[in-house]
Chains A and B, each alone.
Chain A
């Protein structure tokens, strides 16, 4: 019987999606455990620790991102069904949402415009290239939507994904602090602000606070994905940034 060679095993593992998928779940599991251990301190958001761990792993082993994503895509794919699943909490909170439709609409439209203009404006002020400015514009909407918008307006979809995730993490970390600072106690207000600014990562954080905040955040995230897809190309055209 031939001796199983470590290199052969490694070559085999690096070529199948199994390793990428497994390591993603292991990294997240470890990150989540760290998070519970730190009593849900937002700084130790499991996405941050999992991403940091995986980047370290890829750099150490020399596995290229594309090869890793062969496995990671199975997790990434679930973003689609998860987006559809937001209809469920939305429906459960419908009675409350119906009462607040006017404030939500006002907040949504102004929030989408403020988010896009402050990000593009600040990036431009600090001398970012046009491509980078366009990639950062849809940073507050959920990943699959942001990628689509970025492609449409001439940004770099893969850079947009990074900006979206970092924005989500940052928003989830500072959101609750800002709300405390502003003395906001209403979960519907917090949820709407969180969902418009920090999409799914913020929504995940909001569900930890209360299911009401989570539902409002999920609603705001879904509506802002819809509103941004319509408003952003039009806004950038009006600003003369795209043809």
Chain B
């Protein structure tokens, strides 16, 4: 029963997110808005429930599985991928390495700066 009520809560928030996106024309996917709504609910209540925690942990611990069917979709694009493999590979490798290192450096630098600011205020 635990998992059942947990998944029900998640689906209700996803549905609420999808409907709000359609009604308000916000350029954000429904599940993302649903996540923000659930997050705000948890903040206001200031606690989660056992069933929600258990379901979230179960879903998130096998998050990689959920990408498999979409990944197999590479099979549909074989032609384009073979034709454009150089720009595709270059873009993926360059962009992923640069973004990973840049965000890590920026996060480290700005955390350092803001904690130094806190020290001064203290």
Binding site for B on A (CB under 8 A): 24-25, 27-28, 45-47, 50-51, 54-55, 58-59, 65, 68-69, 72-73, 75-76, 78-92, 94, 100, 102-104, 106-107, 110-111, 114-115, 118-120, 122-129, 132, 136, 139-140, 143-145, 148, 152, 156, 158-159, 161-168, 170-171, 174-175, 178-179, 182, 184, 186, 188-190, 192-194, 196-198, 200-201, 203-204, 207, 214, 218, 222, 225-226, 229-230, 233
Tell me, rounded to whole Å, the shortest Cβ–Cβ distance linking A83 to chain B: 4
A132 and B84 form a contact (CB under 8 A)? yes
Instruction: State whether the Cβ of B60 lies closer than 8 Å to any Cβ in chain A.
Output: yes
**Chain B residue nearest in CB terms to A124:** B87
The contact of B68 among A65, A72, A182, A225, by CB within 8 Å, is: A72
A80 and B30 form a contact (CB under 8 A)? yes
Residue interface mask B46-64, A partner, CB < 8 A = 1: 0010001101110111011
Tell me, rounded to whole Å, the shortest Cβ–Cβ distance linking B77 to chain A: 5
B100 and A197 form a contact (CB under 8 A)? yes
Top 4 closest A-B pairs, CB basis? A72-B69, A126-B87, A128-B87, A103-B110
Q: Which applies to chain A's interface (DSSP): helix, strand, loop or mixed?
A: helix
Q: Mark out the residues of chain B between 56 and 97 whose CB falls within 8 Å of any chain A CB in the assembled complex.
A: 56-57, 59-61, 63-77, 80-81, 84, 86-88, 90-97
Q: Complex: how many Å from CA A25 to CA B48?
A: 30
- Please give the number of chain B residues whose Cβ is less than 8 angstroms from any Cβ of chain A in the complex: 72
Q: Complex: how many Å from CA A117 to CA B65?
A: 29
Instruction: State whether the Cβ of B22 lies closer than 8 Å to any Cβ in chain A.
Output: no
Instruction: State whether the Cβ of B111 lies closer than 8 Å to any Cβ in chain A.
Output: yes
Instruction: State whether the Cβ of B122 lies closer than 8 Å to any Cβ in chain A.
Output: no
Instruction: State whether the Cβ of B24 lies closer than 8 Å to any Cβ in chain A.
Output: no
Instruction: State whether the Cβ of B121 lies closer than 8 Å to any Cβ in chain A.
Output: no
New A-B contacts (8) at CB < 8 Å, excluding given A182-B104, A222-B35:
A69-B69, A81-B31, A107-B107, A119-B94, A122-B94, A161-B71, A207-B61, A225-B28
The contact of A126 among B35, B61, B86, B113, by CB within 8 Å, is: B86
Tell me, rounded to whole Å, the shortest Cβ–Cβ distance linking B60 to chain A: 6
Instruction: Please give, as numbers and ranges, the residues of chain B lying within 8 Å of A186 by CB-CB distance.
Output: 108, 111
Q: Complex: how many Å from CA A53 to CA B60?
A: 23
A136 and B102 form a contact (CB under 8 A)? no
A174 and B39 form a contact (CB under 8 A)? no
The contact of B14 among A81, A143, A158, A165, by CB within 8 Å, is: A81
The contact of A115 among B88, B95, B107, B113, by CB within 8 Å, is: B95
Q: Complex: how many Å from CA A24 to CA B66?
A: 10
The contact of B91 among A46, A78, A119, A196, by CB within 8 Å, is: A119
A94 and B43 form a contact (CB under 8 A)? yes
Instruction: State whether the Cβ of B19 lies closer than 8 Å to any Cβ in chain A.
Output: no
